[in-house]
Amino acid sequence: MRRVNVAIAGFGGVGRATANLLLSRRERYAQVYHADVRLVAVCGSRAGLRDPEGLQADQLTTLQEGLSGPDFIAASGADILIEAGPTDFRTGGPGLAYIHSALASGRDTIVISKGALVHSGKKLCALAQKSGAILKLSGAASAALPTVDLVEHSLKGCNVLEVEGILNATTNYLLDAMMTRGVGFDEALREAQQGGFAESDPRNDTEGWDTACKLLILANFGLGAELEMDDLIVDGIQSVTAERIQTWRSEGLVPKLVGSLVHSDGTFRASVGVKTYPLDDAFANVRGKDKAIRITSDAMGETLAIGSGKEPLATAAAALKDLEYILSARLAPAR
Amino acid sequence: MRRVNVAIAGFGGVGRATANLLLSRRERYAQVYHADVRLVAVCGSRAGLRDPEGLQADQLTTLQEGLSGPDFIAASGADILIEAGPTDFRTGGPGLAYIHSALASGRDTIVISKGALVHSGKKLCALAQKSGAILKLSGAASAALPTVDLVEHSLKGCNVLEVEGILNATTNYLLDAMMTRGVGFDEALREAQQGGFAESDPRNDTEGWDTACKLLILANFGLGAELEMDDLIVDGIQSVTAERIQTWRSEGLVPKLVGSLVHSDGTFRASVGVKTYPLDDAFANVRGKDKAIRITSDAMGETLAIGSGKEPLATAAAALKDLEYILSARLAPAR
C-alpha cells in the first residue's frame, strides 16, 4: 500500500466538507487504489493544523494560529494539494499563491476556487506541464454538475459547437422565486437575503460574474479556448423588473441566467445574460438551486445534464473525484 | 507515430457509420494520440473486406462474399475489434464469438451490441482480465446518452443509490405519440410501423427487453452488480390502452417506460415498467426519440442527463470514444 499525503488550503465550508469526506473514504482509497491516503495538513488564511501521520476528523475543529501559507503546505510533506479558498477572479485570490507554489514544485493540485483559474489559467497550465504535476479542477467547474467531464469523457472525440449553462445556483433560485411570486429583482433579493439564501453582497452572483467564471473555465480547460474575462459580454439579473416577469409569465416563458458559448472555426464567443425558455424546454424546469448544461456537438447532437447536489458536500465530492483521478494516474500498474 | 489497426465486425447501419466516422477522424487520432489509425477489415455475417494498408471510405460499398467470421478478423492484423452486430440477449448473438475470440487473444474490444454483454458479461470480463485486453462498451449502454460515463467519471467515488432511465427510443416515441394524440398502444404502433418509426417485430422494444438489457449492462459494468436477466422484473408498454392514456392526460401525468435500479447494502434490485411523471419533472419532457437517466448518489444528490443524438451516428460516436480511451491507455507515455 502506497502512502499518499494530502493537504487542504482554504478551510471554510467547502474545505471542511472536503476534509471530512476524504477521511470518510480512506477505506475506499485503500481498497480501490491500494493507497493509504492521509490528510497531513489543513489551513485557512491565518490558522491551520499539521500532523505528518494524518489528522483525524475530531481534530479539525480547532486550528492553530500562524500555521498557514504556501510554505506551511510545502513543509507538510503533502503529495497533493486541494485548494478551496475564496474566489477572486480579478486578483486570483489567496488560492493563486498556493496553487502556484504547489505546481511549481511538481505537487499534483486539485483546484476548487475559480479565481486563480480565471486570472492565471494559462500560466498555471504551463507551470504544471513544466513540472509534470497534474492540475484538476472539477470542483471549480460547477461542482456536482458534470461540465468538463461531459466534454472530456462523454463527448470525447466530438466537436463541441455550442454550450448553454445555468451555472449559478443563487440567480436560479432568485429567478425561480421571482417567477413563482411575480416579483422583481429587488424584492426577491431582499427576501432571499433575509432568509439567508443570498449573500449580503450578492453582486458576484447577480451580475453574472460567477456564471462567467465557470463558463470561462469550461471553455479554456475543457475545450481549449483561450478566453480572457474581457472577451466575455456579461450581463446579470439585476435589471429584471416585476413587469418583465409578468410579461414572461403571460407568454409561458421562463427566464434563466445563462452562460452561452458558440464555437465555430476554432473561434469561441462567450456571453452571460438572461434567456427565456418555453415550459417544455428542460431548462425551464431547472428549479431552485439546481444547475444545468446543454452541449451541442457534431456527432452526438444535444447532451443535457442537470445537477442538484447539496452544498458544500457536492463540491467536496467533485474535488475528490479529481483525487481519484490522480490516484489512478499515479498508482496504476505500469502496462 | 504508432500504427493502430482496427477491424469492425457487424456491418449494418451502425457498423458503417462507425467505419465512416473513424475514417473521418484519422487526422484527429494522428494529432492527439500520434496514432496512425487504419481500418484494416470490416465484415457482416457473410461478406467483408480487408486491406492491411487500410480501407478507404469509397471501398466500403461493396463487400466480398466469404470474408467473415472471427478467424477472418484474427487474420486481419487488427489490434482493436469494434463489434457492431445485431443484439440477441438470449443467445449472445453473432457478436459473442467475435468478442470471445478477440478478448481471448488479448485484442482490445469495443462492444456496441448488447446481446453478448447480457448473456456472457461475467465470462467476457474474466477473459479480458486474463489476457490483459481492454473491454469497453459505451455504444451498448445507451449510446449518446452518458450512462456508464456518469458513474465512472462524473460520480466517481460516490455511492450510487438509485437509477431511473428512459433508455429506449422507440417506446419513448410511441408513448409520446399516444399522449399527443390520445390513442392506445395498438393504434400508435400501427401508425409508427407505417411511418417506419418502429420495427415490424417491435417486441424487443415494446415489451421492455431493450431497456432491460441497457439497465443490466449499466448495473453490471458500471456499478459492479452481478445481475442476470432472470433477476429483473420486465414489463413493457403493450398493455397501455387509450383509456389509461386519457386518465393520465386528465391528471397532468406523463407515462414513460423506465428502467429502475435500487442499490442498498450491496444488493441491486432492477425492474422495467411504465412510470408516470408530473409535467414539471424533467423526465416528463423527454420527447420523441430522446433518452434520459437520473442517478441518485450519496454525495452528489440527483444527476440527470438527457441525450438526443441522431442514430446511427450517435452510437458510432459513442463507440469511438471507447477507441480514444484505448488509444490513451495504450499510447500514453510512461510516467
Burial bucket for residue B72 (CB in 10 Å: 0-12, 13-18, 19+): middle
Give bridge partners of residue B293 from the DSSP assignment: B165, B305
Window 2-41 of A, Cβ < 8 Å to B: 21, 25, 28
- Grid look-up 429583482 returns A185
Range A121-140 average pLDDT? 97
How close, in Å, is residue B123 to chain A by CA atoms?
Answer: 22
**The three three-digit cell numbers of residue B193, written as one number:** 410501423
Chain A residues whose CB is inside 8 A of the B303 CB are 144-146, 305-309
Locate the chain B residue with the closest alpha carbon to A334: B334
- Give the span between the Cα atoms of A121 and A100, in whole angstroms: 11
Q: Which of A140-144, A166-170, B29-33, B273-277 has the lowest mean pLDDT?
A: A140-144
Residue A108 pLDDT: 98
CB atoms within 10 A of CB A308: 22
Architecture label for domain A2-143+313-331: 3-Layer(aba) Sandwich (3.40)
* pLDDT of A335 strictly over 50: no
* pLDDT of B335 strictly over 70: no
Residues belonging to chain B = 335
- Give the span between the Cα atoms of A189 and A185, in whole angstroms: 6
Range B112-139 average pLDDT? 97
**Superfamily of domain B2-144+313-331 in the CATH hierarchy:** NAD(P)-binding Rossmann-like Domain (3.40.50.720)
Residue A74 backbone dihedrals phi, psi, to 5 degrees: -60, -40
Q: Is A330 on the interface with B (CB under 8 A)?
A: yes
In this complex, do B282 and A285 lie within 8 Å of one another by their Cβ atoms?
Answer: yes
- CA A137 and chain centroid, separation: 7
- Grid look-up 481519484 returns A324
* pLDDT of B77 strictly over 80: yes
Architecture label for domain A148-307: 2-Layer Sandwich (3.30)
Contact call for residues A140 and A113 (beta carbons, < 8 A): yes
Residue A251 backbone dihedrals phi, psi, to 5 degrees: -95, 0
Q: Is B331 on the interface with A (CB under 8 A)?
A: no
Under the banding of pLDDT at 50, 70 and 90, the label for residue B333 is: low
pLDDT digits (tens, 9 = 90+) for A236-270: 999 999 999 999 999 999 999 999 999 998 899 99
Q: Which of A100-104, A297-301, B288-292 has the lowest mean pLDDT?
A: B288-292
DSSP letter for each residue of A135-202 = EE-TTTTTTTS-SHHIIIIITTT--EEEEEEE--HHHHHHHHHHHHHT--HHHHHHHHHHTTSS-SS-
**Sheet with B135-136, side-by-side order of all strands:** B64-65, B47-50, B35-43, B2-9, B80-83, B108-111, B135-136
Chain B residues whose CB is inside 8 A of the A149 CB are 149, 153-154
Residue B28 pLDDT: 97
Structural element, H or E, at residue A37: strand A35-43
- Grid look-up 456508464 returns B148
- For chain B, the structural domain boundaries read 2-144+313-331, 148-307
Under the banding of pLDDT at 50, 70 and 90, the label for residue A333 is: low
Q: Is B301 on the interface with A (CB under 8 A)?
A: yes
pLDDT digits (tens, 9 = 90+) for A265-288: 889 999 999 999 999 899 999 998
Q: Which residue did the predictor score with more confidence, B143 or B274?
A: B274
- Grid look-up 431511473 returns B164
Range B236-247 average pLDDT? 96
- Give the span between the Cα atoms of B17 and B293, in whole angstroms: 25
Chain A residues whose CB is inside 8 A of the B280 CB are 285, 287
CB atoms within 10 A of CB A262: 14
Range B303-314 average pLDDT? 95
Q: Is B106 on the interface with A (CB under 8 A)?
A: no
Residue B143 pLDDT: 85
Question: Considering only CA atoms, which of B153, B173, B142, B134 is closest in space to residue B257?
Answer: B173
- Give the span between the Cα atoms of B300 and B304, in whole angstroms: 11
Residue A248 pLDDT: 97
Torsion of the alpha carbons at B220, B223, B226 and B232, rounded to the nearest 10? -70
Under the banding of pLDDT at 50, 70 and 90, the label for residue A200 is: confident
Best of A6, A131, A153 to disrupt the B interface by mutation (most B CBs within 10 Å)? A153
The stretches of chain A forming alpha helices (DSSP H) are 13-24, 26-33, 70-75, 95-104, 115-131, 148-149, 169-181, 185-194, 203-206, 209-217, 223, 242-250, 313-331
Range B141-157 average pLDDT? 93
Kindly state the percentage of chain A with pLDDT values over 70. Answer: 99
**The three three-digit cell numbers of residue B60, written as one number:** 466500403
CB atoms within 10 A of CB A234: 18
**The three three-digit cell numbers of residue B164, written as one number:** 431511473
- Give the span between the Cα atoms of A312 and A316, in whole angstroms: 6
Contact call for residues B175 and B240 (beta carbons, < 8 A): yes
Range A296-310 average pLDDT? 96
Range A216-243 average pLDDT? 97
DSSP letter for each residue of B149-181 = HIIIIITTT--EEEEEEE--HHHHHHHHHHHHH
* pLDDT of A195 strictly over 90: no
**The three three-digit cell numbers of residue A58, written as one number:** 475530531
- Grid look-up 474474466 returns B126
CB pairs under 8 A between A and B: 140
Q: Is A266 on the interface with B (CB under 8 A)?
A: no
Best of B33, B304, B315, B326 to disrupt the A interface by mutation (most A CBs within 10 Å)? B304
Kindly provide the ipTM of the predicted complex, given to two decimals: 0.95
Give bridge partners of residue A92 from the DSSP assignment: none
* pLDDT of B334 strictly over 50: no
Locate the chain A residue with the closest alpha carbon to B21: A299
Q: Mean pLDDT of all residues in chain B?
A: 95
Residue B198 pLDDT: 84
**The three three-digit cell numbers of residue B77, written as one number:** 492484423
Under the banding of pLDDT at 50, 70 and 90, the label for residue B332 is: confident
Kindly state the percentage of chain B with pLDDT values over 90. Answer: 93
DSSP letter for each residue of B17-55 = HHHHHHHHTHHHHHHHH-EEEEEEEEE-SSEEEE-TT--
| pTM of this structure | 0.96
Q: Is A273 on the interface with B (CB under 8 A)?
A: no
* pLDDT of A321 strictly over 90: yes
In this complex, do A300 and B285 lie within 8 Å of one another by their Cβ atoms?
Answer: no
Chain A residues whose CB is inside 8 A of the B300 CB are 144, 307, 309, 314, 317-318
Contacts of B125 (CB under 8 A, 6+ apart): B135, B221
Chain B residues whose CB is inside 8 A of the A334 CB are 334
Under the banding of pLDDT at 50, 70 and 90, the label for residue A334 is: very low
Q: Is B318 on the interface with A (CB under 8 A)?
A: yes
Kindly state the percentage of chain B with pLDDT values over 70. Answer: 99
